[in-house]
Amino acid sequence: DFLVLACDGIWDCMSSQQVIDFIIKDVKLNKDLNKACVNLIDRCLAKEGRGVGTDNMTIIIVGFLHGLEKEKWLERISNRCTV
């Protein structure tokens, strides 16, 4: 389980479900929440026509470990990815 805190620059570019899906897929690939934040911001930024955002971008992902070790928690989140 995790909570996403982000500024309007993120939410103007992606819906809540799109953000959650993106984070789950990124965690499955990279096993790193910091990298997921960076990749999500890169996805939203209007670089080379890829993104739509021109606003400032801030995101924090808070993982609720529920007593699990970090690696086990990341694996648990990764297992939610259906793609």
pLDDT in tens, 7-29: 998 998 899 999 999 999 999 99
Position 72 scores a pLDDT of 93
55's CB contacts (< 8 A; 6+ apart) are 7, 8, 9, 12
Name the pTM for this structure: 0.83
pLDDT in tens, 37-66: 999 999 988 665 555 656 788 999 999 999
At residue 45, φ and ψ (nearest 5 deg) are -65, 145
Angle at 29 between CA 40 and CA 41, to 5 degrees: 10
The DSSP output letter for 45 is: B
Position 57 scores a pLDDT of 87
Whether residue 70 has pLDDT greater than 60: yes
